[in-house]
Structure 1
Amino acid sequence: MPENRTHDRGPRRRTVVTAGALTLTALAAARPAQAATAAGPESGAAGARPPARAAGPRRGDWHRYVQAPASTTVRPVRITESTGDVSDPEALLRPGGGRTVLRRPQPKAAPRWPEGTTAEASSAHAPNNGNDGNHRTYDAANAIDGDPETFWNDDTERGFPDVLTLTVPAPIELSGITVVSNADGVPTAFTVEAGRRGGGWETVGTVADNDVVQCAVPFSRTVTTDRLRLTVTAAQDTGKGVFTRVNEVWPEAVEPAAPPSVTVDFGKVVVGHPDIRFTGASANSPGVRLAFSETREFLTDRSDFTRSDQAGGTGRGTDQFAVPAAGAHWKDTKGFQRDGKVFADGLHGFRYLRITLDALASDAPVAQPWGRVDIDSVSLDFTAYLGTPSTYRGWFLCSEDDLNRFWYGASYTNELVTDTFRRDDVDPRNAWSDTLEGKLVLHDGAKRDRDPYVGDLAVSARTLYLTHDDTAAAARNVLVDLADHQRSDGWIPPASISGYTLPLFDYPLWWVTCGWDYVLYTGDRAYASRTYPNLVKVLDTWYPSVTDSAGLLSKGLNDTGGYGDYAFLGRTGRVTYYNVLYVQALNDAARLADWLGHGADADRWRERADTVAEAVNAHLWDASAGAYLDSGTGAVRHAQDGNALAVVAGVAGADRAASALAHLDATTRRPYGNAFMDNDTLFADASQRVYAFTSYPEIVARFLSGRADSALDQIRRTYDWMDRHDPGITNWEGIGPGGSLYEGAYTSMAHGWSTGVLPALTHQLLGASPLSPGYATWEVRPHPGDVAWAQGELPTPHGGLGVEWTQTGGEFSLTVRVPARTRGSVALPTGGRDVVVRAGGRLLWDGKRGHVKGVSGGDGRVTVSDVGPGKHTFAVSLRQK
């Protein structure tokens, strides 16, 4: 389970409303004066926490929830740990107010085995080519070659135990050994045996629960032997698999001398280039190694993830620098310091930074692992979008402190991934593209993979449009670029990774619906016209090529069996998620076609959407479970993605929507959200894994089907878990069993696709949404649940659309501020009660019928149509008998 955050927070408060009443409060100023709250601890500076307030949130007081740093120079907020010979570590927090000194004596040479010693292993990973083109081997001999940069890597396909056997030319005395491993291949449990004279083996050492890379194993007595056997029975799970990487075995038990290190905490996940001011150093070019992590759980002597891990591991999981004797002001940028040695990755997303006086053996003599280093300060050059209170063009506030924190935590998460596409910062797996270089984009994660995936935009772009819509180009740039790389058969790539060739089955559909979203929020007709031919081609050429006789998409047709999806799930055939997403994409495309005047295309796509929806209901509904099957082939299971999108896309009628959501409640509910599968037939622990990406449509489905309380419950469980656990504030890529990081250290803890709480609270709880491009028409349809009041503003091309509502006792009040050149409708909740609706004292609804044109009732709402520019206040109260 992730470690609890180290800071304290006031008691969590939630106002519960048992009936609805109304005491109308005037809508707060659309944007309170920036100068009043832009400074001080509530401004969102790194590490600052909103103070606990007994009275809860105050109306209009949303600035205190903003999380971004106050400027692009971000400093750590605390020292969490220091090891070894370090003086005044706290000086790192006081630039110019002292210096932190790290000292380390020159280490003794490592013990060596006698000449002629050989090594064999029960298994070894196949050799490959490193990022530098050199052929690398992982055989047993690497464990005794004296080079700590090479290692024996067991064959992960075989599993444990794995055995490493050393044979010495003549018997030697041994009082112990030392096993030196890679940080991403630490053997956690192993035994050591010495060969007996005449044959057989004697156990001389047993290790359990090891977590260090230099593990000394003293024997209970000195033995004389010519053979030694190391049997590994367990290793750390790195998130990429479980394997052993033994770099060296020494013929002595050498206890590690802790190298001097200081760990600083920036208070929350940040992203950019670390900046360190060294005031001096010893004359031997002492090295420093920087390890980064989003969580303390996975902060070791190497980073939780570096891009070089995906490109050959040049830096061995850390960024290196050799400090000159005169000192230096070093900004961590990608590349080698000198002579092809001392490598740094550059930009990082992290919360914790460990600075260690150390150096890789391969970096000698440019950098040495000993000496003295003097440091004045540590900071970060923040590269992502800086979302200070003055930059917010849309905002949200409600009576519940936690929901406000979740909204602004999601906004900050999304700001971290709104960044410029740069060659040195993006995923190294052939993701760089000259057509994106220098453009603002929405990456998928701050730490990784740092590539703009269109599926992520389905959530992160909506978050962007509702907070900082002046940067909508970050979504447009990605959508246009992917359209420009459309394949000749109509398929659209998911991202630039692998040279725009990564085969995903669902992401071309997300490109369609994300394109409609972009037009809906911005009204950009030029974009719609430019990409319309691509839209036609993907819907009328590629997807028909993977459609079966029933009219359903079927993965496997047209050589798509090896295609993946958002989670690279091994499902084939008729998959509900693909097909209900297809329905959504077809209907979105039809809306766009209507807007551009292509009525025939719109009619054809709507007709096809109806056909697919009917086929889904005919072939993929499981009446025994009361939910949609994940797939029509293979083991029986029911997935969150397909069932939730079936409701959102309108495939499920009211009865099936209620049944499907009830099934998810009964089978996937976890303390940390709702799992994305109801059993483990797809892979182990699938029923324990939570994706906020697929939880977002389920939350929306619950709101849309009149289940606001269950939607809010799911929000609270999912986002409270992430908010309360390290690193806090930001939204995780995925949550695993027991609330863990679902892919260990590899997990991205600030991922744009997980920010769906923000559009859900704005569009569903507050209730305001665009209905036609550029908010020319809109709808306000609140789903209050047990929240006492909410207010906010949505940025539109015509100005802010402001909404405020309050419910107390048996009344409900709503005020809407409508920008010029827009019109919309207001759907007021009645809770199924007999109510009267008034606007400014004028009777609109008497409980039976409307008294003004455009006012109607039904489905637990009174709807007021054709609401034009200006301020409008509506009051709903119980009708007097």
Structure 2
Amino acid sequence: MRKRSMLRPRPLHVLACLALGATSTVVALSPARADGQADAATALASLPSPDWRKYVQGTSHAEVSPVRIVSTTGDVTNPEGLLGEGTTTLHREAPKAKPAWPSGTTATASSYHAPNGGNNGTPTSYEPGHAVDGDVRTFWNDANPDTYPAWLQITSPAPVKLPGITVLSNSDGVPMDFTVATWNGSAWVTQATVTGNTDVQRAVTFPQEVTTDQVRITVTKDQPSSRGDFTRVNEVWPGIVSDPAPASVTLDFGKVVVGYPTLRFKGASDDHPGVRLAFSETLQYLTDRSDFTRSDFSGGAGTDQYAPPVKSTTWTDTKGCQSGTKVCADGLHGFRYLRISLDALESDAPVAEPYGTVKLKDVTLRSTALPGGAGTYKGWFESSDDALNRYWYNASYTNELVTDTFRSTDVEPRNADSPSLDGKLVLHDGAKRDRDPYVGDVAVSGRTDYLTHAVPEAARNVLADLADHQRADGWIPPASINGYTLPLFDYPLWWVTSSSDYVLYSGDTAYAAKYYPNLVKTLDTWYPSVTDARGLLSKGLNGTGGYGDYAFLPRTGEVTYYNALYVQALKDAAGLARSLGHTADAGRWQQRAQDVAKAINTYLWDAGTGAYLDSGTGAVRHGQDGNGLAIVAGVASPDQAAAALGHLAKTTARPYGNAFMDNDTLVPDGSTRVYAFTSYPEIQARFRSGQADSAIEEIKRLYGWMTAHDPGITDWEGIGANGSLYEGAYTSMAHGWSTGVVPALSNDLLGAAPTGPGFATWTVRPNPGSVQWARGVLPTPHGDLRVTWTQGHGAFLTLAVDSPAGTSGDIAVPTGGKQVVVRVDGKVAWDGTAALAHQATSDGAHVTLRGFGAGHHTVQVTDR
């Protein structure tokens, strides 16, 4: 159930504004004073005292503790000891010997998976015979995920008496619904029907003892898992096996955290009891196996193992093995829930056994997240809307989790380690996975960092490293994964826009100068090589048919998203070129941006629908990514922007955000899958097109859904049908590319942004919508840029800007389409029809004022 937004009561004039509709830029409708003057000081003084610190989720402490016990299983004494309240004891009796099938027993199945490697002594094959070989490390794996029925048939050389059977499966392939039948010599007789099973080990009792030489298990549904829905049976025992349940305690850290768990043991019995740690970001996917570990890519155990000694000890879960290749752990994890079990893998015997006694003092986490206490914030945001405030700081916390040092032991295991990044602060994509710095993610998480904690070196280290691995033809890799070779079509453009952002926010023109040749090579060599005769990027040219993009979508030809992003990259590059004195390049790229924009409007605008096509090739569909970026990049006219945003609102709105496609012709879930990554430019487009209230409404659906559902607070990689985790347990629930609500609120609602390197020049352009007031600080190399505005109190809008020395900027105030008077520091700058100061101009929706230097300035919008 969605939580209700805790909004402060709004005055009647603001409630009246809400009735104007989502497509209006709304300002307060209170009249001015009789003398035509409004008291700016009174308006600003009426705001409550700053209270943003109460929304901060992070901490400056390196050690994080769990907040509650979720559940226990088996023999556990005083589980609260793990919260620092004494000693917790886990105990498990040694299991009895398992019944065995007669020698010569065989098994067949409907299908079985082909070999694909092995690990920790596990054979590489998955044939059905593994279900009766007496080795719980091996298993039968059917070959057809999501295809039912799947059956396993066991044949004994002689009849056996069976009171029932026991099925031992794997948490990645638990049969949920299945029947058990026995052969009576002439026909199959159903002995049991099981539904809704979630037990890895399930005893199935027959109505009465049966003598038979054949047993058939028919599976009609499997429990969803991180690797898909299929059946995986490790062993079927001929009889009822009732092992003592593993003693376990599940801890809740209250929100997603990241780092190295530390367990303090008071001691253990001398029979080598093992401890297994399973991690999950959600309770839904918390099992005896982690929802994701790096060893998943190599067929690992899916848990972290440790065998505590008899004497007291402290163990920090870092990557490595305790004894040779036995009792191994992955180390760093991103998770909310931690299950600690007295259990062990058979392959870890005799170093660790699944029984005995273990005593624990407490559990903590050595956090690797960027410290995030209130004192670490260099920028902040606050408004009259409690929900928006929460989403801003939740996103900041999400970004803290992915701001971390690049370590070979903790990063994406598919050949992503890089000596050129090891030991450097970076922006990973996710806390749990992939833990690799992708430049598309940096395009969003970089902005989030600049506006919150302002540690720009985390973005610079990534951008510089990727440029240092540029291919000879100008293509820039998206990340270090696969040795910097993962072929993505769009990410070199994100490198351009992210480099521009980095310079604008940090003022690091030395970076711009050093990597300017890389930028030139990307835009003037590689992208021209994939440009067709109509002047549009076309995926498939120059051997790019197999290239992916941010979601590995099977798109080809002229795609609006690629081309609109190209326009934005060209404009950003032109800005960088001008700041470095390369005026010819700037002019050429600006002209190319105009030419590509014209081609997009000529060939990819669907006038019948009123939106941009996803692609000029294939079925007709319209994407959120292309339409949002076309508006933000200035490709769309105001009428086109209004039409496209109207189409997206009508066809893609879901309770949990806006889907990234308006139908399912590209991928089966296109109209139900939501990405905050592609929602961000759509939200930007709504703010910038005079639809502030619809932008706020979309934010509240998207970020409200993520906040109200497990694990809460952090921002998800993607959302699937009905608000689910779009890739099941594999989904990252704390992903930097989903934090666009921070720049959306600071840059677009509050309205402040840099226009020159290091905020040498800036703009303030509020888009208030129904928000009564907002204020914030944007950190700059020159000092703080402070912005506050409020609606009402004798003015349509009262705005205060405090800008640091060495900077200058422009201010644009909304008019609500009315003929207004604009005063700067008490003096009329726009009298409703003409400019009296600050080179004021009006476009009907805003009055723009120019030439503000350092210091404090107030701007008021009144009706006379």
TM score, norm. by length of structure 1: 0.93
Cα displacement (A) at 1:59: 3.2
Partner of 1:267: 254
Specify the alignment match of 2:21 in structure 1: none
1:279-678 matched pairs, under 5 angstroms: 279-313=266-300, 316-469=301-454, 471-678=455-662
Q: Distance in 2 between matches of 1:157 and 1:717?
A: 33
Matched residue type, 1:873:
T
Would the aligned equivalents of 2:172 and 2:227 in 1 still touch at CA under 8 Å? Answer: no
Alpha-carbon distance in 2 for matches of 1:694, 1:20: 34
Name the SS of the counterpart of 1:136 in structure 2. Answer: coil
Measured against aligned partners, the alpha-carbon deviations of 1:200-233 in whole angstroms (never above 9, x if no partner) come to 3222222222111111111112211111112222
Match of 2:777, SS state, is strand
CA contact under 8 A between 1:14 and 1:400: conserved in structure 2? no
Identity of aligned residues (%): 64
Judge which range, 378-387 or 133-142, deviates more. Answer: 133-142
How high is the TM-score relative to the length of structure 2?
A: 0.95
Q: 1:358 Cα shift?
A: 0.7
Q: How many residues align?
A: 842
Partner Cα separation in structure 1 for residue 324 and residue 4 of structure 2: 49
Q: Aligned match of 2:191 in 187, 200, 204?
A: 204
Partner Cα distance (1:166, 1:761) in 2 = 62
Q: 2:71 corresponds to which residue?
A: 81
Residue deviations 1:102-125 (CA, integer Å, cap 9, x gap) = 111111122211111111222111
User: What does 1:189-268 align with in structure 2 at a 5 Å threshold?
Assistant: 189-197=177-185, 199-268=186-255
Letter in 2 for 1:866: G
In 1, Cα distance between equivalents of 2:197 and 2:306: 29
Within 5 Å, give how 1:689-704 maps onto structure 2. Answer: 689-704=673-688
SS at match of 2:791: strand
Q: Secondary structure at the match of 1:686?
A: coil
Residues 250-275 of structure 1 deviation map (CA, whole Å, 9 limit, x = unaligned): 11122453211111111111100001
- The farther-off stretch of 863-872 and 235-244 is 235-244
1:207 aligned partner, one-letter code = V
Deviations 1:357-402 (A, max 9, x none): 1111111110111111111111000011011111111100101111
Does the 8 A contact of 2:539 with 2:557 survive in 1? yes
1:125 partnered with 2:113 = yes
- Following superposition, the deviation at residue 158 of structure 1 comes to 8.3
1:36-75 superposed Cα distances (whole Å, 9 cap, x missing partner): xxxxxxxxxxxxxxxxxxx9x9431111111112411111
Q: Give the conservation status (yes or no) of the 8 Å contact 2:838–2:851.
A: no
In structure 1, the residue matched to 2:124 is 136
* 1:356/1:144 CA distance change after superposition, 3 Å: same
| Contact 1:23–1:806 (8 Å) recurs in 2 | no
Partner of 1:803: 787
Q: Whole-Å Cα distance in 1 between the matches of residues 368 and 838 of structure 2?
A: 53
- Structure 2: how far apart are the matches of 1:521 and 1:210? 54
Q: Aligned to 1:688, what secondary structure does the other structure show? A: coil
Moved more, 793-802 or 211-220: 211-220
Report 1:775-790 matches (<5 A). Answer: 775-790=759-774
Aligned-partner Cα distance in 2 for 1:827–1:120: 74
Q: Secondary structure of 1:128's match?
A: coil
Tell me how far apart the structure 2 counterparts of residues 649 and 423 of structure 1 sit (CA, whole Å): 38
Whole-angstrom CA distance in 2 between matches of 1:610 and 1:442: 33
Q: How does 1:165-176 map to 2 (within 5 A)?
A: 165-176=153-164
Q: Deviations over 1:719-747 (max 9, x none)?
A: 11111111111101111111111111111
CA deviation string 1:341-372 (max 9, x = no partner)? 11111001111111111111111110111111
Question: 1: CA distance between counterparts of 2:5 and 2:595?
Answer: 53
Gaps of 5+ in 2: 18-27, 31-37
Task: Give the root-mean-square deviation of aligned CA atoms.
Answer: 1.9
Given that 1:128 and 1:135 are in contact with CA atoms closer than 8 Å, whether structure 2 keeps it comes out as no
Mapped to 1, the partners of 2:658 and 2:189 lie a distance apart of 51
Counterpart AA for 1:366: V
Query: Once the two structures are superposed, what CA deviation does each residue of 1:487-539 show, in whole Å capped at 9, x if it has no partner?
Result: 12211111001111111111111111111111111111111111111111111
Partners in 2 of 1:611 and 1:655 — Cα distance? 20
The 1:24–1:85 alpha-carbon spacing in structure 2 relative to 1, beyond 3 Å, is farther
CA shift for structure 1 position 855: 2.4
Match of 2:54 among 60, 64, 87: 64
Matched letter for residue 449 of structure 2: L
Give the residue type in structure 1 aligned to 2:710.
Answer: D
CA separation in 2, counterparts of 1:280 and 1:535? 59
- Other structure's SS at 1:410 match: helix
Aligned to 1:185: 173
Give the counterpart letter for 1:610 in structure 2: Q
Native 8 Å contact 2:399 2:736 kept in 1: yes
State the Cα distance separating 1:239 from its structure 2 match: 4.5
Structure 1 residues 791-811: Cα deviation after superposition (integer angstroms, max 9, x where no partner): 000000100000000002652
Deviations 1:537-590 (A, max 9, x none): 111111111111111111111221111110111111111111111111111111
Tell me the CA shift for residue 89 of structure 1: 0.9
Show the counterpart of 1:852.
Answer: 837
Letter in 1 for 2:96: K
Distance (whole Å) between structure 2 residues aligned to residue 100 and residue 725 of structure 1? 30
Please point out which of 80, 83, 87 is paired with 1:93.
Answer: 83
Question: Residue 122 of structure 2 contacts residue 138 of structure 2 at CA under 8 Å; is this kept in 1?
Answer: no
Contact 1:59–1:397 under 8 Å retained in 2: no
Other-structure match for 1:50: none
- 2:120·2:347 contact (CA, 8 Å) conserved in 1? no
* Corresponding residue of 1:738: 722
User: CA 1:106–1:240 in 2, change beyond 3 Å: closer, same or farther?
Assistant: closer
Inter-CA distance 284–488: structure 2 relative to 1 (3 Å threshold): same
**Conserved 8 A contact 1:190-1:207:** yes
- Distance, in Å, in 2 between the alignment partners of 1:641 and 1:110 is 57
User: Structure 1 residues 858-867 or 675-684, which shifts more?
Assistant: 858-867
Most deviating of 391-400 and 17-26: 17-26
Q: Which residue identity is paired with 1:183?
A: S
Which residue identity lines up with residue 64 of structure 1 in the other structure?
A: K
Aligned to 1:759: 743
In structure 1, stretches of 5+ residues that fail to align are 30-54
Give the AA of the match of 1:745: A
Whether contact under 8 Å (1:23, 1:807) holds in the other structure is no
Cα pair 1:27 1:804 within 8 Å, conserved: no
1:819 aligned to 2:807?
Answer: no
Aligned counterparts of 1:542 and 1:131: Cα–Cα separation in 2: 41
Cα separation, 2, equivalents of 1:696 and 1:11: 23
Aligned-pair CA distance for 1:833: 1.7
Q: Is the 8 A contact 2:764 2:810 kept in 1?
A: yes
What is the rounded CA distance, in whole Å, between the counterparts of 1:14 and 1:572 in structure 2? 50
